[in-house]
A and B are shown apart, each in its own frame.
Chain A
Amino acid sequence: MLEVKDLRVSVEDKEILKGLNLTINPGEVHAIMGPNGAGKSTLSAVIAGRDGYEVTAGSITFEGENVLEMEIEERARAGMLLGFQYPVEIPGVKNVYLLKAALNAKRKHLGLPEIEAPEFMKLVREKLQFMKMDNSFLHRSVNEGFSGGEKKRNEILQMLTLEPKLALLDEIDSGLDIDALKVVSEGVNSLRDAGRSIVMVTHYQRLLDYIVPDHIHVLSDGKIIKSGDKSLALELEKRGYDWVIEEAAQ
């Protein structure tokens, strides 16, 4: 589904990703871990198309399409959605309005008519309930005055509504207490599907107790230096990253 090959990315002439390779097949859940400054967030930002990142070499393809030639919104419509580490506040724009606009943008891309209001409300209420969110969320401005946990739940609410093919979750667990983590994890787990892939970027093993990945990658100094199954996370939890880095250096 997603193929990243020899990807090199610079930010303000400083190389952050230095030849990264990653293959994600449909239905897989991947976790990307690694020390601070390894380039984890850069990877998700580049896949989503954020400005300020210069791709100097390599390629990213999604279902065979060259992602690097697509606009940000085209990538989203094609089915790649990013769950933000710090979801932004948009004062005066109701949550429900953003959700509907986003869903209709996707439908338009698929050649479907705009969703009817009752059908949309039914869909959204269902998803809200699943995320244990009050209906009042819909009429609050996007993320404005939301607590950290509410913002993250809102990200997952959008995922559930928009049903992406590839969900990129950037530090979705940061700033969550244990109850919120459970709700968010349940939301993500409900997205698991044979046709859908999930990539989680995280610091902590804790998240992986709730969302169990098929593959774990260690990202260090702009490269994936080790990949493994879920047992790798436990080892990292116990021994830290240094041994992997040393091993890779040899």
Chain B
Amino acid sequence: MASQEMEQLVRREYKQGFVTDIETEMVPPGLNEDVIRFISAKKDEPQWMLDWRLAAFEQWKQMEHPEWAHVNFPEVDFQAISYYAAPKSSEDKPKSLDEVDPKLLETYEKLGIPLHERAALAGVAMDMVFDSVSVTTTFKEKLGEAGVIFCSISEAIREHPELVKKYLGSVVPVTDNFYAALNCAVFSDGSFVYVPKGVKCPMELSTYFRINAENTGQFERTLIVCEEGAQVSYLEGCTAPMRDENQLHAAVVELVALENADIKYSTVQNWYPGDEEGKGGIYNFVTKRGECRGDNSKISWTQVETGSAVTWKYPSCVLKGKNSVGEFYSVAVTNNMQQADTGTKMIHVGEGTRSTIISKGISAGRSDQSYRGLVKVLPGAKGARNFTQCDSLLIGDQCGAHTFPYQEIANSTAQVEHEATTSKIGEDQLFYCRQRGISEEDAVNMIVNGFCKDVFKELPMEFAVEAEALLNVSLEGAVG
């Protein structure tokens, strides 16, 4: 393919780059104790929570911004950011799909999102149009019968303080890193899931169900706890754009799996990546960590990431319980000026622990992508095993892919395997497909989807379809 065509291939616009007129209630920019008190008061939080936030803020002030990641961006001015934004009320939301930007609906349609979901994503006050109240109620009743708690973290702090106190910050300590500490101080909202002993959560939990009930801000905080023998599959995010004006997103997600518990956490992320020149876009600095506390427990992260201007994210597993299992399956697409430094950490503490890492990176345009992965085997982790495979696919000749694997092995019985490949999307492959009559765009999609197959098959069915569509949209226009 000629370089000119390559250029067209990587040129695409952010399909979800719309602006909503929804009025928001915001605090003025800046971060100080008063702002934290304001957030806490807005959420009607108990004193202990406010104290926790304030203590975190004190810690954060002592910390320095991390510089080790392979990304480049102007210094973030933490005093220029507003730390609280919420839509004013549902009355201000569009009343029906007719009031929603048709272009936005077109995008959702392209992505194959069902109609009622499209409405939710577009911010339509659903109870006006659809019978969503009863949907939500049935859903809550069903979970309630099983004893599963699924609510916003704010609600959990008020309604289930004993659980929140016990687990919040127990996987990702307040001082874990700069952005985690910041999140502890100012987190806006997020999800709380608690699955009691022996319960298999009767349905897949998704943030979608709460999308109108609460507006999750840019400092999300999510906590998922699975007691002994419990199971849950949690789907995070959607292909919807963030409505927030702010550019910084610093979330913390903590997962706790007790004995024989099984947590599957899937993410499809498609935030605004900035324009072709790298202007604008979300800085996505996220700390995600799961702890397999009990024997034979399992935590699995699956993610498909196509958005954000700068990403800095390492969903990790701490494998404490004997024979516990950690998995990380990831597809990351960067285009234009996007930068991503992403990967995982597998910390083998217990005997017979196993971990699998499958990472697929696709770089196009002038983007730069790094895989950074740590496999650490502690002295007690007898017979630990890890398999890592990270593959990079380059589209065009102006993008970059890097691999930074770290291995710290302190037990000689451990088996650690690492495979890595970097390939350019083959002009040969494209020519072959086109010589069979397949259009260039379809051929690119086919090749990229094939490249990601190992990860897509780990996603829940509906998500896999969405992810595939998303990938195609992300690389759309990429073809001449």
Answer whether residue A98 sits at the interface, using C-beta atoms and an 8 A cutoff.
yes
The answer to whether A90 and B431 touch (CB under 8 A), given A105-B437, A158-B436, is: no
Kindly list chain A residues whose C-beta atoms are within 8 Å of the C-beta of B434: 71-73, 76
- A162 vs B436: C-alpha distance when bound (angstroms): 8
Among B433, B435, B447, B451, contact of A48 (Cβ-Cβ < 8 Å)? B435
Residue of B nearest to A74 (CB): B437
Q: Chain B interface: which size bin?
A: 20 to 34
Contact across chains for A105 and B428 when beta carbons are under 8 A apart:
no
| CB contact list, A177-215 vs B, under 8 A | none
| CB contact list, A54-92 vs B, under 8 A | 71-73, 75-77, 81-82, 84, 87-88, 90-92
- A162 vs B431: C-alpha distance when bound (angstroms): 17
Contact across chains for A51 and B431 when beta carbons are under 8 A apart:
yes
Kindly list chain B residues whose C-beta atoms are within 8 Å of the C-beta of A73: 434-435, 437-440
Kindly list chain A residues whose C-beta atoms are within 8 Å of the C-beta of B1: 51
Kindly list chain B residues whose C-beta atoms are within 8 Å of the C-beta of A76: 434-437
- Chain B 335-358 interface mask (CB, 8 Å, partner A; 1/0): 000000000000000000000000
The answer to whether A77 and B454 touch (CB under 8 A), given A84-B432, A90-B432, is: no
Answer whether residue B405 sits at the interface, using C-beta atoms and an 8 A cutoff.
no
- A71 vs B439: C-alpha distance when bound (angstroms): 9
Among B426, B435, B452, B454, contact of A72 (Cβ-Cβ < 8 Å)? B435
Kindly list chain A residues whose C-beta atoms are within 8 Å of the C-beta of B450: 90-93, 141
Answer whether residue B58 sits at the interface, using C-beta atoms and an 8 A cutoff.
no
Answer whether residue A106 sits at the interface, using C-beta atoms and an 8 A cutoff.
yes
Kindly list chain A residues whose C-beta atoms are within 8 Å of the C-beta of B2: 51
Answer whether residue B427 sits at the interface, using C-beta atoms and an 8 A cutoff.
yes
Residue of A nearest to B426 (CB): A88
- A162 vs B447: C-alpha distance when bound (angstroms): 21
Contact across chains for B437 and A90 when beta carbons are under 8 A apart:
no
Answer whether residue B429 sits at the interface, using C-beta atoms and an 8 A cutoff.
yes
The answer to whether A105 and B439 touch (CB under 8 A), given A72-B431, A72-B434, is: yes
Contact across chains for A106 and B447 when beta carbons are under 8 A apart:
no
Residue of A nearest to B480 (CB): A71
Answer whether residue A139 sits at the interface, using C-beta atoms and an 8 A cutoff.
no
Kindly list chain A residues whose C-beta atoms are within 8 Å of the C-beta of B453: 91-92
Kindly list chain A residues whose C-beta atoms are within 8 Å of the C-beta of B96: none
- A72 vs B394: C-alpha distance when bound (angstroms): 22
Shortest Cβ gap from B105 to chain A (Å): 26
A residues lining the B interface (CB < 8 Å): 48-51, 71-73, 75-77, 81-82, 84, 87-88, 90-93, 97-98, 101-102, 105-106, 109, 141, 158, 162
B residues lining the A interface (CB < 8 Å): 1-2, 426-429, 431-440, 442, 446-447, 449-454
14 sample A-B contacts, Cβ–Cβ < 8 Å, listed by A number: A48-B431, A51-B427, A72-B435, A73-B439, A76-B436, A91-B450, A93-B446, A98-B433, A101-B438, A101-B442, A102-B437, A105-B438, A105-B442, A158-B436
If A51-B1, A73-B440, A101-B446 are given as contacts, then 5 extra A-B residue pairs at C-beta distance below 8 Å, sorted by A number, are A50-B431, A51-B2, A76-B436, A90-B432, A101-B436
